DNA sequence: GGGTAACTGG
DNA sequence: CCAGTTACCC
């Protein structure tokens, strides 16, 4: 069994205790983290080592930052997407475990429609697709995980009417995310559960998590070769609902594979 | 027995747990606090009430702020020194318990010799003496406590050579503080222990507390009528040496009276 | 609402 | 070194 988790932790320094508590509950083999909000040298390598994880970290001060913590050593580890315009930010890290590629990405938030950050988000998706074209083939075994900052369908938000034209739900963004599916990925959660309403992110404001007012913006995408190995995908809201230590606004998503 | 304590807590919001732990050790009847660093409405009135204290609070956002927490109700509570120039900051609070006046003051730090804040400190002392002249008589029973931000004598600093011309030790400042003694106050600690070397403040920097590199800048001053009632004065370093919760850089000073 | 940084006061 | 602040990001 191979369990691959993705979790936007919103600062690894302030969240590491929670992460280790969660790993006791769900000791996944591979944990992909986003929004480390710290430089690589501040990453808690030793704490993860004690639990048997080797960590591959692409840190950044204050913003972004991604890591893969794996029980198995990775090869061909890469950072960024080979595009200088976007690689000034630490949003992508990947590597290979035998014939399985892992890619962990923190896609831009976008802020609001029409602004500079909104176009940056769309352009990032564009650049990411080009990176896929250059570096991979849809016939590869690839697990692409991360915070995509887009809810794919209306079923992926708690209220599509209330959230109309809010960031993460707009047609341009959904189209950008769908290009990853068009390229050759399958949304593992939706593949197994076509009608299930589950969210991975809830705003800190107004106790949204208690009213389950969330969005599904964190994903496990897999290429077709992996579909037969996919056993389950689940969102663990335990860590999001904890009050002490304080939670991230995202919950971890876990994919279970039998390879 | 009446125990009166003075403690610069360096933010009551971040120090309240420590204060309540300390009150279990030394349940003083009257606790005078300085550097609340918060507005009056954020003061933890309820926590103190649970322990039987009535609190008189003169708060301020971010800087200064003083309070008297008393097991007995006070009358004629006043805030400030009646001088608009200095009363824009919350540095003084006082009140009367029967025939005993309590005055709690946080004197300015002064930063360094020659600067604006240095003259402000000296002028504050001047204005404070004028306030005493206007409002009190040396024949009154008065307990004046607080962070005076001045070490009276060389014996009150860990190394007068090293600290020469550093803030809190300079002749101008000592002269300003001595004017309170000239007015009619007695330094209760020094009265009982003429040769004792004890400090009330240690810099956070460089682990000064562990090397006992401190200064005595927090005082219990009393008028002559109270000398016969004075039983003891002690500095409790317990709270300063605690690591969890984090300490203030000042230790509480306690005066014990038999009235 | 919760994290970061840079600044200021002590 | 340890508080507080404002400003920025999500």
CA of B117 to C1' of D1 (A): 22
Look at residue B25 in the predicted model and tell me its pLDDT. 97
Concerning whether A250 is annotated as a catalytic residue, the answer is: yes
CA of B219 to C1' of C9 (A): 22
Residue A195 annotated as part of some ligand binding site? no
Q: Which residue is nearest to nucleotide C10 (CA to C1')?
A: B109
Which tokens belong to B173?
């400042």
Continuous H helices in A101-202: 116-135, 171-183, 188-192
The number of angstroms, rounded, from the C-alpha of B218 to the middle of its chain's C-alpha atoms is 5
CB neighbours of residue B11 within 10 Å: 14
Residue B19 · residue B51 · CB < 8 Å: no
Look at residue B55 in the predicted model and tell me its pLDDT. 98
- A81 pLDDT band, cuts 50/70/90, is very high
Q: Is the CB of B61 under 7 A from strand D?
A: yes
Residues written for chain B: 259
CB neighbours of residue A160 within 10 Å: 14
| Average pLDDT over all residues of chain A | 97
H or E segment and range at residue A106: strand A100-106
- B85 pLDDT band, cuts 50/70/90, is very high
DSSP chain B: -EEEEEEE-S-HHHHHHHHHHHHHHS--SEEEEE---S-GGGS-HHHHHHTT-EEEEE--SSS--EEEEESS--EEEEES-S-HHHHTS--EEEEEETTEEEEEEE-----STTSHHHHHHHHHHHHHHHHHHHH--TTSEEEEEEE-----SGGGBS-TTTTTTSTTSSHHHHHHHHHHHHHTEEEHHHHH-TT----SEE-TGGGGGGGT-EE--EEEEEEGGGGGGEEEEEE--HHHH--SSPPPSB--EEEEE--
Q: Dihedral, CA atoms, B111, B113, B118, B121, nearest 10 degrees? A: 90
Reported as a single tens digit per residue, the pLDDT across A135-178 is: 999 999 999 999 999 999 999 999 999 999 999 999 999 999 99
Look at residue A229 in the predicted model and tell me its pLDDT. 98
Q: Is the CB of B200 under 7 A from strand D?
A: no
| Average pLDDT over all residues of chain B | 97
Look at residue B179 in the predicted model and tell me its pLDDT. 98
Reported as a single tens digit per residue, the pLDDT across A191-237 is: 999 999 999 999 999 999 999 999 999 999 999 999 999 999 999 99
| Residue B145 main-chain phi, psi, to 5 deg | -125, 165
CA of B63 to C1' of C8 (A): 11
Give the start-to-end residue ranges of the domains of chain B.
2-257
Q: Is the CB of B205 under 7 A from strand D?
A: yes
Three-class DSSP category at A12: helix
CA of B209 to C1' of D2 (A): 14
Look at residue B243 in the predicted model and tell me its pLDDT. 93
Residue B188 · residue B220 · CB < 8 Å: yes
Residue A39: exposed, middle, or buried by beta-carbon count in 10 A (0-12, 13-18, 19+)? middle
Residue B104 annotated as part of some ligand binding site? no
pTM as predicted? 0.89
Residue B147 · residue B250 · CB < 8 Å: yes
Q: Which CATH number fits domain B2-257: 3.30.420.130, 3.60.10.10, 3.40.50.2300, 3.40.640.10?
A: 3.60.10.10
- Mean pLDDT of the B8-13 span: 98
Reported as a single tens digit per residue, the pLDDT across A102-146 is: 999 999 999 999 999 999 999 999 999 999 999 999 999 999 999
Nucleotides of C under 7 A from a protein CB: 1-5, 9-10
Look at residue B186 in the predicted model and tell me its pLDDT. 98
Q: Is the CB of A182 under 7 A from strand D?
A: no
Residue B156 annotated as part of some ligand binding site? no
Minimum-distance nucleotide, CA of A13 to C1': C3
Reported as a single tens digit per residue, the pLDDT across A40-54 is: 999 999 999 999 999
H or E segment and range at residue A87: helix A84-87
Least Cα distance to A147 among A106, A111, A198, A201 occurs for A106
Residue A147 annotated as part of some ligand binding site? yes
Residue B64 annotated as part of some ligand binding site? no
DSSP A23-76: HHHS--SEEEEE---S-GGGS-HHHHHHTT-EEEEE--SSS--EEEEESS--EE
Look at residue A240 in the predicted model and tell me its pLDDT. 97
Q: Is the CB of B237 under 7 A from strand D?
A: no
Residue A156 annotated as part of some ligand binding site? no
Paired residues of B143 in beta bridges = B102, B222
Percent residues over pLDDT 90 in chain B: 100
- Mean pLDDT of the B83-93 span: 97
Q: Is the CB of A111 under 7 A from strand D?
A: yes
Look at residue A57 in the predicted model and tell me its pLDDT. 97
Look at residue B93 in the predicted model and tell me its pLDDT. 98
CB neighbours of residue B75 within 10 Å: 8
Q: Which residue is nearest to nucleotide C5 (CA to C1')?
A: A62
Provide CB contacts within 8 A for A49, sequence distance 6+.
Answer: A55
Nucleotides of D under 7 A from a protein CB: 1-5, 9-10
Name the residues in A26-55 having a C-beta closer than 7 Å to nucleic acid strand D: 35
H or E segment and range at residue A238: helix A238-241
């Amino acid at each position: 069994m191979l369990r691959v988790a993705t979790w936007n932790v919103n600062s690894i320094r302030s969240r590491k205790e929670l992460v280790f508590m969660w790993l006791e509950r769900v000791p996944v083999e591979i944990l992909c983290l986003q929004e480390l909000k710290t430089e690589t040298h501040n990453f808690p390598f030793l704490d993860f080592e004690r639990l048997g994880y080797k960590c591959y970290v692409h840190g950044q001060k204050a913003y972004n930052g991604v890591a893969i913590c794996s029980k198995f050593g990775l090869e061909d580890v890469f950072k960024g997407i080979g595009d200088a315009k976007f690689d000034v930010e630490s949003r992508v890290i990947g590597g290979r475990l035998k014939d399985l590629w892992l890619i962990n990405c923190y896609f831009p938030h976008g802020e609001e429609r029409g602004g500079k950050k909104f176009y940056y988000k769309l352009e990032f998706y564009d650049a990411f697709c080009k990176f896929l074209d250059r570096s991979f083939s849809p016939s590869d075994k690839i697990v692409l995980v991360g915070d995509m900052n887009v809810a794919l369908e209306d079923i992926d938000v708690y209220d599509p009417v209330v959230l109309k034209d809010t960031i993460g739900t707009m047609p341009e963004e959904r189209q950008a995310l769908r290009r990853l599916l068009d390229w050759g990925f399958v949304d593992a959660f939706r593949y197994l559960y076509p009608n299930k309403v589950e969210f991975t992110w809830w705003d800190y404001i107004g106790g949204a998590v208690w009213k389950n007012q969330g969005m599904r913006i964190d994903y496990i995408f897999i290429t077709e070769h992996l579909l037969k190995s996919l056993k389950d995908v689940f969102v663990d809201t335990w860590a999001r609902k904890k009050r002490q230590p304080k939670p991230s606004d995202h919950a971890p998503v876990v994919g279970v594979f039998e390879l």
